[in-house]
Amino acid sequence: MITGTIARISGPVITAKKMTGSRMYDVVSVGSAALPGEIIRLEGDEAVIQVYEDTTGLLIHEPVKNTGVPLSVELGPGLLASIYDGVQRPLPALFAKSGNYIQRGIMVPGLDREKKWVFTPVKKPGEMVSQGDVIGTVQEFHLVHFIMVPPGISGEIKTITSGEYTVTEPVCVLADGTQIPMLQRWPVRKGRPFVKRLDPEVPLLTGQRVFDTMFPLVKGGTAMIPGGFGTGKTVSEQTLAKWADTQVVVYIGCGERGNEMTDVLTEFPELTDPRTGYPLIERTIMIANTSNMPVAAREASIYTGITIAEYYRDMGYDVALLADSTSRWGEALREVSGRLEEMPGEEGYPAYLATRLAAFYERAGRVNCAGTEEKTGSVTIIGAVSPPGGDFSEPITQNTLRIAGTFWALDANLAYRRHYPSVNWIRSYSLYLEDVEDWFSETVARDWYQFRGRAMYLLQKEVELQEIVQLVGPDALPDKEKVVLEVARIIREDFLQQSAYSDDDSFCPLEKQYWMLKVIIWYYDAVRAAMRRGVPVRQLLSISARSEIARMKEQKDPDRIKALSDKVWEQTENLEVQTCSTAA
């Protein structure tokens, strides 16, 4: 073991000498308190180390011991429903050891070494296996946890037996003597292997109309949610964690307030997954590195989360990784870079900011998993961005824009008007629309893309007309443009706006989304058709079906929404008859 001494201390960054033979990103133990750290620069016999703990009280010449291994996470049964810090130390175990105030230098394994899991083999002695092959299963809550051959290992099975095992006990032994336990370790900065990356063709359904219908995201895709303070980034991320069409959710609280993580911890056990009927916490893994935790560990928390997500992807599951927020992660990079005295880039961020962001987001994807069995899994990354003052021209937002496929821009004005989700429909976009068009046409309806396009046209037309209204007033507009303003308002208030507190509206199935939008567009067509027959606009906009359209979101049965379309046409046609008879 290489042992050096501390030569310089600058906050979370220290310099150790006599470290010849060390490698980049090796994990080290710093000082008499054995604080964990990671080598981030080597020069001669000196190593620059970022420490994942508070360095208060460290002394020059205290020992630095190199463990010889990179920062890695433990992967295996027991991850679900867990909450870790940025370097995968379970916070409940740290609390049990030190109480409310976590002491420095406490190291606890990421997975429980005492708990026994019931292992059921799916392979037999004499069979050949290679990396990624499933050799057995363990039941983890309602999810089947597949025990896989670790990367880089292959051979003939010598023994494999069912029974109760801890994660460190071997469940399978190969002919060459290699023992395979349920526990795997993997370096966080290295992506896990897969066979082939697949095209983004399957949408990630969230139950939120503005996301699913207007700006869809795909499984294996990337999305960003930028917005200033109070626009609802965290609420949007937590909503996606609750309702996203995935088997596993990895939620990273990166530099956020502690009370927000507390809300997740208290709320998720009480919520029921609408697809499985089980508590949401049972499919969630949380990485908490709040704003009062060491800044260097904040940088590692992102990699810890994505590595855990890739592990479940390799089992053939769809995983959603939600990072809240990457701006705080970028600030950690900036602070450490400043202490390293590196040449600053724009707004003080390091010059390699764009490279680091791209390397993180590129680990998303829908893939054919490693192994002889056919498995398809995905990791979808959704990152919140907190631009100072809501300025989308700042470096984190701009660099993420170049990478992310979906852009959900949050608007402070919408948030202040209690419009939730406060997604600005003019500034937002999705690059996956053409990719998912075939899926929606086959699964939902062939005219889905047509209705979605017409709704976007009306919203964009409304913006143009509002500029005219501000100059000359609404009464100066022609009747057909008054109708555009009214229908655009219906789309905004009765379709895009969604109540997170309503049992009927917090989650909206895809069929209901489609029929809600279709009824609104048909209402627009029926009104215009009646106008061409001479019916006054005032009468058309006051039909009783209009109030029923406003209450569509409260309907559970899509058939009632379908029936509303016939009522719209019937009432507009009757108005024409009444108008003609009166004139006669």
Beta pairing, strands 26-30 & 35-43:
antiparallel
**Which residue is it, tokens 């750290």?**
37
Query: Rounded to whole angstroms, how far apart are CA atoms 59 and 564?
Result: 75
How is residue 118 annotated by DSSP? E
Amino acid 74 reads E
Burial 510-533 (b: 16+ CB within 10 A, else e): bebbbbbbbbbbbbbebbbebbee
Q: Is 316 labelled a binding residue?
A: no
The terminus-to-terminus CA distance of the chain in angstroms comes to 102
Q: Indicate the SS3 state at residue 132.
A: coil
Which amino acid is residue 193, in one-letter code? P
How far lies 80's CA from each of 226, 401, 546, in Å? Answer: 28, 31, 46
- The structure tokens 């479940």 sit at 312
Rg (alpha carbons) of the chain, rounded to whole number: 28
Contact (Cβ atoms closer than 8 angstroms) between residue 218 and residue 438:
no
Strands across the sheet containing 117-121: 143-148, 134-140, 117-121, 163-165
List the Cα angle 478/479/483 in 5-degree steps.
120
Q: Write the single-letter amino acid at 202.
A: V
What are residue 369's DSSP bridge partners? Answer: 194
What does residue 380 show for φ and ψ, rounded to 5 degrees?
-105, 125
The response to whether 305 counts as a known ligand-binding position is no
| 232 annotated ligand binder | yes
Residues 444, 514 contacting (CB under 8 angstroms): yes
Helix or strand run (H / E) with residue 285: strand 284-289
Shortest CA distance to 402 belongs to which of 575, 224, 543? 224
Q: Are 93 and 82 in contact (CB under 8 A)?
A: no
Asked whether the beta carbons of 521 and 455 are under 8 A apart, the reply is yes
Per the annotation, does 234 bind a ligand? yes
Q: Give the number of C-alpha atoms closer than 13 A to the C-alpha of residue 21, restricted to the C-beta side.
A: 9
User: Which tokens belong to 556?
Assistant: 């559970």
Nearest to 55 by CA among 339, 405, 304, 249: 339
Looking at the DSSP bridge assignments, the partners of residue 170 are 181
User: Nearest Cα to 209, choosing from 402, 440, 561, 491?
Assistant: 491
Token code pair at residue 171: 């469940």
Structure tokens at 195: 């066979």
- Binding site annotation covers 229? yes
Pairing of strands 222-226, 376-385: parallel
What residues contact 494, with CB distance under 8 A and at least 6 apart?
A: 516, 520, 549, 550, 552, 553
* Tokens standing for residue 411: 């608007």
**DSSP, residue by residue, 48-81:** EEEESS--TT--TT-EEEEEEEE-EEEESTT-TT
* Residues in binding site: 227-234
What are the binding residues for ATP? 227-234
